[in-house]
Amino acid sequence: MIMEKRVYIETYGCQMNEHDTERILRLLEVSHYLETKNAKEADFILINTCSVREKPEHKVYSALGRYKWLKERRGAIIGVAGCVAQQEGGKLLDRIPYLDMVIGTHAIPMIPQLLQRIEISGERVCETSFDQDGKYLEAILPQNSPVVGSIRLDKVKSYVTIMQGCDHFCSFCIVPYVRGREKSRSSQEIIEEVRHLAEMGVKEIFLLGQNVNSYGKGLGEEISFSELLGYLDQIEGIERIRFTTSHPKDLSEELIQAFSKLPKLCEHIHLPFQSGSDRILKTMHRGYTKESYLKKIGHLKEVCPSIALTADVIVGFPGEGEEDFKETIDLMEKVQFDDLFSFKYSPRKGTRAAQFMDKVEEKVKQDRLSILQEIQRGITLRKNQELEGCIEEVLVEGQSKQSAQDVAGRTRSNKIVNFQGDLNLVGKLVPVQITKAYQHSLRGEMIPTHCRLENTPAYQ
Ligand code: SAM
Ligand code: SF4
């Protein structure tokens, strides 16, 4: 009889990391490791880490400290994966004597084999080499699946990695160092994976990459990101397509037009601007100006008036003065983002900006962040309130966190809607009238079937 063991994974950081965790769980299923949500009963504890900013990096060390006793008491195997593992490599083993495994960002497929080595010989392992063949990008199948290539987050929506790594080298960013150079997966592989997901009942796919709009670079085939979207749009069973992240510099006219041409492409784009000051954008090495960013946003709004816009912004980058910060606020006010992810600049060892001299004081960074977030809260609430009374297409994802009588789903613009309904609705597209807008979600009422307009196939 095969002994089943338990794996507990703690995930930090972006969607790419969440997706990597899913892939690791699939891989480990084959080695008879089943997921547990309770670290205390795990035979293998893995921390999947993020090093984009200092805060998530620090969390890794405190998480490791929390699990030390499980190593001592139960002999659990403890590992670190992701960006911190890639960045620190063998130094982590030196620093943390009870750590067994360090797994870099390209080494995920090797985890079962390394785990077996630890189980047999008790040796401590570190694998952080970059894989040039792109094997680390291959889809990892759910066990016993008859079709090649797929991961499933849940039945309704699924992430699909289309490329990894980045060639941009923005001066503040660690990603090119820890995820490696840009590498795209072949369109054939991606299409097969998405077809398989559709067969499994997935309705929404979320395409992932550090810079999806340079998809195709270095592939043996002539294909742009927009062309890939065009192929995916034709796959039966898939109702919605989303993607992240796009770089403003590479946002092509073809991609902007895709928002009006492809029916399944949701009306939402996440387009990080980082700063509104041309001087700062230049030292960040972003490759666009405030004006050219605003021009692209204007064009997106012309082509797709209902498009929802979100972005990332950094405050307190070295050299950022009051005037620069005002430019950032001005850009935000001009665009009116639906939501913003805002960060204080955090120096990352090995990046160019970490060497810049004119650092901004911590208190100034914090004050600027608070001002910016306060303004954005007002804009977000107002944008949500604009939807009151409107009927939105909602893809139902599961039970609402707020009440057992409610279900929750998302609009095409990616806003969460809670409404009364039962779990039979999960996976369905339903029309919901928005009755109340809040800061982070919307409340609504489903339009009963007999009141729906004919000829709206999505709702039938
Ligand atoms: N590729 C995406 C782009 O260029 O827009 C961003 C990917 S990065 C993992 C996610 C976000 O983290 C960035 O958009 C940026 O706002 C933030 N970020 C990255 N490095 C940072 C740093 N050193 N300090 C603060 N925020 C940072
Ligand atoms: Fe980092 Fe810039 Fe690449 Fe985005 S584009 S991942 S911010 S280097």
Report DSSP letters for 365-401, one per residue.
Answer: HHHHHHHHHHHHHHHHHHHHHTTTT-EEEEEEEEE-S
* C-beta of 340 in contact with ligand 1 (< 6 A): no
For 42-53, the pLDDT digits (tens) are: 999 999 999 999
Residue whose CA is closest, atom 1 of ligand 2? 173
SS3 239: coil
| Residue that has been written with the tokens 């914090």 in this structure | 366
Task: Show the DSSP H helices in 141-207 as ranges.
Answer: 175-179, 187-199
Residue 146 pLDDT > 60: no
Q: Which residues contact 253 (CB under 8 A, 6 or more apart)?
A: 299
Other Cβ atoms less than 10 A from the Cβ of 314: the count is 26
* C-beta of 272 in contact with ligand 1 (< 6 A): yes
Cα distance between residue 295 and residue 141, in whole Å: 42
* C-beta of 210 in contact with ligand 1 (< 6 A): yes
Between 304 and 154, the more confident residue is 304
* Region class of 287: left (phi > 0), else alpha (psi between -120 and 50), else beta: left
For 98-144, the pLDDT digits (tens) are: 999 999 999 999 999 999 999 999 999 999 998 777 777 776 655 44
Q: What is the pLDDT of residue 342?
A: 98
Radius of gyration (Cα) for the chain, nearest Å? 23
* C-beta of 9 in contact with ligand 1 (< 6 A): no
Ligand at shortest distance from the CA of 312: 1
Q: What is the pLDDT of residue 450?
A: 74
Which pTM value belongs to this model? 0.92
Atom of ligand 2 nearest to the CA of 174: 1
Average pLDDT score over residue span 351-371: 97
Q: What is the pLDDT of residue 218?
A: 86
Q: What is the pLDDT of residue 454?
A: 54
362-370 long-range CB contacts below 8 Å, 24 or more apart?
364/316, 365/315, 365/316, 368/315, 368/316, 368/320, 368/325, 369/315, 369/316, 369/342, 369/343, 369/344
Phi/psi at 277 (5° precision): -100, 125
Specify the DSSP class assigned to residue 221.
S
Residue whose CA is closest, atom 7 of ligand 1? 210
Q: What is the mean pLDDT of the chain?
A: 92
Listed residue (144, 145, 224, 157) closest to 194, CA to CA? 157
17, 182, 183, 210: residue to mutate for ligand 2 pocket, most atoms within 8 A of CB: 210
53, 168, 244, 274: residue to mutate for ligand 2 pocket, most atoms within 8 A of CB: 168
For 292-341, the pLDDT digits (tens) are: 999 999 999 999 999 999 999 999 999 999 999 999 999 999 999 999 99
For 213-269, the pLDDT digits (tens) are: 999 988 888 899 999 999 999 999 999 999 999 999 999 999 999 999 999 999 999
Cβ(414)–Cβ(339) below 8 Å: no
Q: What is the pLDDT of residue 459?
A: 52
Cβ(259)–Cβ(295) below 8 Å: no
For 389-399, the pLDDT digits (tens) are: 999 999 999 99
* C-beta of 348 in contact with ligand 1 (< 6 A): yes
Cα angle vertex 300, ends 378, 223, to 5°? Answer: 130
Q: How far does residue 146's CA lie from ligand 2's centre (Å)? A: 37
Residue whose CA is closest, atom 4 of ligand 2? 210
Alpha carbon 372 to its chain centroid, in Å, reads 23
Between 145 and 326, the more confident residue is 326
Cα distance between residue 423 and residue 426, in whole Å: 5
Residue whose CA is closest, atom 5 of ligand 2? 168
Token pair recorded at residue 145: 């699946």
End-to-end Cα, the chain, rounded Å: 48
For residue 23, what are the CA distances in angstroms to 125, 140, 158, 163? Answer: 20, 6, 12, 15
Q: What is the pLDDT of residue 451?
A: 74
Q: How far does residue 423's CA lie from ligand 2's centre (Å)? A: 39
Token pair recorded at residue 284: 């960040």
Q: How far does residue 287's CA lie from ligand 2's centre (Å)? A: 11
Residue 150 pLDDT > 80: no
For residue 99, what are the CA distances in angstroms to 130, 305, 438? Answer: 22, 52, 44
Pocket of ligand 2 (CB under 6 A): 166, 168-170, 173, 175-176, 210-211, 247
For 56-68, the pLDDT digits (tens) are: 778 888 999 999 9
